[in-house]
Structure 1
Amino acid sequence: MPSPAAPDTIFFDGVCNLCNGFVQFVIRHDAAGRYRFAALQSEAGQALLAAQGQAIPAAAPESVLLLRQGRLYSHSSAVLRIAHGLGGAWRLAAVAELLPRALRDAAYRFVARHRYRWFGREESCMLPTPALKARFL
């Protein structure tokens, strides 16, 4: 009997208020529990990325990352694939993939550069509630 596929993992900047808001959004809309989460600053997040041959400096995370079926997506591609995976009307986000990736990623990087100024940051990563703890690495 084949083993069930591992859930997709979303890596996020654990001290960024925008990123934490995005994680909360995904949790609210992911009734199937398809996604699990790891802060880029966490040991578990860094270890999982290292196992994929990736190293993101914990002091300077710039992107939401999505690990899906052994493939790592970043920037706008990660966000669009996450939205598509939520199902329902969120699948329409895939239309944005028709735009050139360079343009999508430039817009993504612009927001990423200003996210702390616009949305603020925390001193430490968020702690999940006991009900959600199993979905966080």
Structure 2
Amino acid sequence: MAVILFDGVCNLCSSSVQFIIQRDPEKVFKFASLQSETGKRYQELFKIPASTDSIVLIMDDKVYMESTAALLTASRLNRPWKWFRIFLVIPKPIRDKVYKWIAANRYKWFGRKESCMIPSKESRDRFI
């Protein structure tokens, strides 16, 4: 099992979670928003800075953030998304610069919710 922590009030992030759920038939990933009590416990347990508002992937007791988290997540999805792993050959500072640019503009481009997303009945078991 792998856990993805995400910004629960971000429309892009919430849409990304739904995208992952639809392409993860083996149900590898579980989810928690960074704002939730569970998300905060994971942040404390894995010493993830409280200021983090990026996607966080916790897999095999290791923490991955930003572009690495996104690409490793994609690599566990159905084809063609698993091929995105090839982008890991791009140096992390370059990948993260692009990631941070998108992250810095995500509320402006995609909007923001007043509260965290509520999972559908079909996907509720994927949230911890």
TM-score range, shorter chain: over 0.9
Q: Does the 8 A contact of 2:34 with 2:53 survive in 1?
A: no
Aligned length: 128
Unaligned residue ranges in structure 2 (runs of 5+): none
Give aligned-pair identity as a percent. Answer: 38
Report the equivalent of 2:84.
Answer: 93
Kept in 2, the 8 Å contact 1:63–1:112? The answer is yes
Aligned position for 1:129: 120
Letter in 2 for 1:78: A
Matches within 5 A, 1:20-99: 20-57=14-51, 61-99=52-90
> Structure 1-normalised TM-score?
0.89
Deviation of 1:136 (Å): 0.6
Which residue does the alignment assign to 2:108? 117
Equivalent residue number for residue 8 of structure 1: 2
- Cα root mean square deviation, aligned: 1.1
- Given that 2:55 and 2:69 are in contact with CA atoms closer than 8 Å, whether structure 1 keeps it comes out as yes
Deviation above 6 Å: which 4+ runs of structure 1?
none
Structure possessing the higher radius of gyration over alpha carbons:
1
Shift of 1:88: 2.3
- Show CA shifts across 1:4-59 (max 9, x none): xxx100110000000011001001101111100000011111102211122323xx
5+ residue gaps, structure 1, are 1-6
Is contact 1:13–1:39 with CA below 8 Å preserved after alignment?
yes
Distance 1:117 1:85 in 2: 29
TM normalised by structure 2 equals 0.95
